[in-house]
Amino acid sequence: MLTVLESLKLSTTFLENKGIESARMNAELLLSHILNCGRMDLYLRYNQPLNSFETTTYREYISRRGNFEPYQYIVGEVEFYGLKFFVNKNVLIPRQETEILIDTILQKYPKDAELKILDIGTGSGNIPITLALNLPNSKIISVDVSDKALKVAEKNRELHDLKSRVGFINTDILENDLAKYVDTFDIVVSNPPYVNNKEFPTLQKEITDFEPDIAVTDFSDGLKFYREISNKSMKLLKNSGMLFFEVGQEQADDVKTIMKKNGLSKIEIVKDLSEIERVVISTKELS
């Protein structure tokens, strides 16, 4: 039987030969998941032999990662905003950048605010669930075009016991103005598909080969959903209600222009920790 150290060495070499970035870290993360321990704890267990089940599972995981399947899909979960979320190939993997979107909303409202929130393109449900847990008097409706994605979101809603405060609707925002489903909202928030059709083929294989393309690209210029949601938000938002978007790199100015054209005002741009313009905010004001 191979020890922890021997298994890590062999797996790291295998992943390096496959062209996986941060091969050693990936090897450690996958093994620590199997052994149900922290990654750093592996250093205290270098001489521990792996049993047959652990060895077989680890070989399977390393093989899948060697084919560029994302680590998060292999283990079936991800941490977002300090919370656990289930993920699979039917949902976009929540990114750290989206935590900036959450932070921006939470900075605008007191924790005890009674808010009605609409989340568009919910995927795994990470945005509405995180907001609901941090704004305990809020009620949130989330929509997504994918019924398979909503099954994952429902599983995450159950994990965090939020069925009474987070609802899901299976619909296409491009085809439906939502008026027959919902009332008006204090907040509309969205992290829509924003990669354009020219950039999409150049992305990492982990994204192009495994993540759902409809959650990554709009198959157009990358701005389709910003136009549609900005336009419909004028009906969906209460007066003084706010629209929050996550945007891709170098999209903030275009999204700001779209918001202005649709009558939204008080537009702000928020940068992430890398000084990239990541969130654009606007407000509906009656003239």
pLDDT tens digits along 140-186? 999 999 999 999 999 999 999 999 999 999 999 999 877 766 679 99
Range in 205-209, 224-228, 282-286 the model is least confident about: 282-286
**Per-residue pLDDT tens digits for 114-137:** 999 999 999 999 999 999 999 999
End-to-end CA separation in angstroms for the chain: 74
pLDDT at 287 exceeding the cut of 70: no
**Predicted local distance difference test score (pLDDT) of residue 284:** 96
Q: Identify the residue whose tokens are 């089940």.
A: 53
**Per-residue pLDDT tens digits for 5-26:** 999 999 999 999 999 999 999 9
Asked if residues 106 and 156 have their Cβ atoms less than 8 Å apart, the reply is no
Rounded Cα distance, 55 and 34, in Å: 9
**Predicted local distance difference test score (pLDDT) of residue 88:** 98
Taking Cα atoms as reference points, which of 17, 213, 239, 258 lies closest to residue 123?
213
Q: With cut-offs at 50, 70 and 90, classify the pLDDT of residue 193.
A: very high
**Predicted local distance difference test score (pLDDT) of residue 181:** 62
Question: Which is more confidently placed, 177 or 233?
Answer: 233
C-beta atoms surrounding 189 within 10 Å = 28
Rounded Cα distance, 101 and 121, in Å: 14
Question: What is the average pLDDT score of the chain?
Answer: 96
Report the SS3 class of residue 190. Answer: strand
Rounded Cα distance, 270 and 257, in Å: 15
**Predicted local distance difference test score (pLDDT) of residue 1:** 87
Rounded Cα distance, 119 and 98, in Å: 13
**Predicted local distance difference test score (pLDDT) of residue 177:** 77
DSSP for 226-268, written as a single string: HHHHHHHHHHHEEEEEEEEEE--TT-HHHHHHHHHHTT-EEEE
**Per-residue pLDDT tens digits for 135-148:** 999 999 999 999 99
Model-level pTM greater than 0.85? yes
H-helix or E-strand containing 149?
Answer: helix 147-159
Report the SS3 class of residue 22. Answer: coil
